[in-house]
């Protein structure tokens, strides 16, 4: 297909109806969406249009067989008011990794980035300005072919929409170390950003919240011993001055914040190791006084500092001070609004 994007604008923006500086992510949506159709083996008709309801056939295959994947990214404003994206090419790559796992067509990565740039530039007035706030961008793909039967669909939609977002967790979080339910198994779909992974996590997350926790800390599916990740975040621990994060062994989502934090910590002189980590090891470090900090990393949440990991039999408390977590959070936020120089080449201007 040609990568030209046809743009149809709304006659009147709704942006003045919302208070961008006090807003919960996912509750308000911007004026437009990017949309592209897959039929007869190719993507066609890339366009930006006013956001409207999309007619859906009751037999649309995504509704029955779950061919649905998504991405999450954030746009911020730079010093001179230019909209900025954070590593959009990594989201394009991960989207296609997910598409491949779920039997869905890949989307041209250059068009993905171009669509995100043009869409974000058009929705610029929706980007909140306060620290930690951003315009959350949601690219997603789903099977819209009307068919009952178990095979890959032949028609899909790729859409990008956006929702202004305030800072996610402004306080420290408590994680429930889940010993009954699992998020993913090796060979399953945990490495893909597949909608069904999140459906499976909803009930266990509700149970964890009912017990006073914020999120589930997922453990491995076989021994319930190896730490995997959290809700919509990867996890880092600081033990005896060094950082560790679970290695990507086949059931963990490869977070873009995770890869950025690894580079950032190393650039500040910290040792960071990616390796399997057991919950017993964290308990032991807590007992011998070497457990220093822990935080979750994710686009929606940014850096979420951990105060406690527990379950019915366990309570691991973290020290009140977590200076490196704060440094990582502040540095990432500062890079995203060009308060400090982006030495890593992560920022892409949307214009």
Ligand X SMILES: Cc1ncc(COP(=O)(O)O)c(C=O)c1O
Residue 164 burial (10 A CB sphere; 0-12, 13-18, 19+): buried
Q: How many residues does the chain have?
A: 351
Question: Least distance (Å) from ligand X to the CB of residue 327?
Answer: 18
Question: Other CB atoms closer than 10 Å to residue 223's CB: what's the count?
Answer: 9
Burial class of residue 330, CB neighbours in 10 A (0-12, 13-18, 19+): middle
Instruction: Pick the piece of the chain touching ligand X (CB under 6 A) from 24-32, 114-122, 249-257, 306-314.
Output: 249-257
Contact between 205 and ligand X per CB under 6 A: no
Among candidate residues 88, 107, 91, 215, the one with its CA nearest the CA of residue 158: 107
For ligand X, the binding residue among 255, 325, 347, 348 (CB under 6 A) is 255
Region of 24-32, 52-60, 202-210, 256-264 interacting with ligand X (CB under 6 A): 256-264
* Residue 303 binds ligand X (CB under 6 A): no
Stretch that binds ligand X, among 39-47, 51-59, 162-170, 296-304 (CB under 6 A): 296-304
Residues that contact ligand X, how many (by CB under 6 A): 13
| Least Cβ distance, residue 251 to ligand X (angstroms) | 10
Map the footprint of ligand X across residues 22-61, applying CB under 6 A. Answer: none
| 37-60 per-residue burial string, b: 16 or more CB within 10 A, e: under 16 | bbeeeebeebbbeebeeeeeeeeb
- Check binding of 232 to ligand X (CB under 6 A): yes
**Rule CB under 6 A: is residue 72 a binding residue for ligand X?**
yes
For position 292 contacting ligand X by CB under 6 A, the verdict is no
As measured in angstroms, the least distance from the Cβ of 60 to ligand X is 23
Residue 278 three-state SS? strand
Task: Select the residue interacting with ligand X from 105, 298, 302, 310 (CB under 6 A).
Answer: 298
Q: Where are the beta strands (DSSP E) in the chain?
A: 6-7, 32-39, 42-50, 68-70, 73-77, 83-86, 134-143, 156-165, 173-177, 215-219, 227-230, 234-239, 242-245, 272-274, 291-298, 302-311, 314-317, 347-349
| Site for ligand X contains 234 (CB under 6 A) | yes
Which position among 258, 292, 325, 347 is part of the footprint of ligand X (CB under 6 A)?
Answer: 258
DSSP per position, 151-168: S--S-EEEEEEEEEE--S
Bridge-based pairing state of the strands 6-7 and 42-50? parallel
Q: How far apart are the first and last CA of the chain?
A: 22
* Cβ distance to ligand X smaller for residue 133 or 232: 232
Segment interacting with ligand X (CB under 6 A) among 55-63, 158-166, 255-263, 274-282: 255-263
* Residue 88 touches ligand X, criterion: CB under 6 A: no
Binding flag, residue 253, ligand X (CB under 6 A): yes
The verdict on 189 binding ligand X (CB under 6 A) reads: no
Residue ranges that bind ligand X, judged by CB under 6 A: 72, 229, 232-234, 253, 255-258, 297-299
């Amino acid at each position: 297909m040609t990568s030209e994007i046809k743009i149809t604008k709304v006659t009147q923006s709704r942006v003045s109806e919302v208070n961008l500086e006090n807003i919960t992510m996912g509750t308000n949506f911007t004026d437009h969406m990017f949309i592209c159709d897959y039929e007869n083996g190719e993507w066609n008709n890339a366009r930006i249009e006013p956001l409207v309801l999309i007619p859906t056939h009751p037999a649309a295959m995504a509704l029955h067989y779950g061919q649905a994947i998504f991405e999450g990214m954030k746009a911020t404003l730079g010093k001179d008011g230019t909209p900025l994206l954070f590593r959009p090419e990594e989201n394009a790559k991960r989207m296609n990794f997910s598409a491949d796992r779920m039997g869905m067509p890949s989307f041209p990565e250059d068009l993905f980035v171009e669509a995100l740039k043009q869409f974000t530039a058009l929705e610029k007035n929706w980007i909140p300005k306060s620290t930690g706030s951003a315009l959350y961008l949601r690219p997603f793909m789903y099977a819209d072919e009307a068919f009952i039967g178990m095979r890959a669909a032949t028609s899909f939609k790729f859409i990008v929409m956006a929702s202004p977002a305030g800072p996610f967790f402004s306080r420290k979080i408590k994680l429930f170390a889940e010993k009954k339910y699992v998020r993913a198994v090796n060979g399953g779909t945990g490495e893909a950003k597949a909608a069904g992974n999140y459906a499976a996590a909803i009930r266990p997350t509700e149970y964890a919240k009912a017990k006073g926790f914020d999120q589930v800390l997922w453990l491995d599916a076989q021994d319930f011993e190896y730490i995997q990740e959290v809700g919509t975040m990867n996890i880092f621990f600081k033990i005896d001055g060094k950082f560790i994060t679970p290695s990507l062994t086949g059931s963990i989502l490869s977070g873009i914040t995770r890869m950025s934090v690894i580079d950032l910590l190393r650039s500040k002189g910290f040792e960071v190791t990616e390796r399997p980590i057991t919950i017993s090891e964290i308990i032991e470090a807590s007992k011998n006084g070497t457990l220093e900090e822990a935080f979750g990393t994710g686009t929606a949440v940014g850096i979420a500092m951990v105060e406690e990991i527990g379950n019915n039999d366990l309570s691991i408390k973290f020290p009140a001070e977590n200076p490196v977590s704060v440094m990582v959070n502040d540095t990432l936020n500062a890079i995203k609004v060009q308060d400090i120089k982006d030495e890593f080449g992560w920022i892409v201007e949307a214009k």
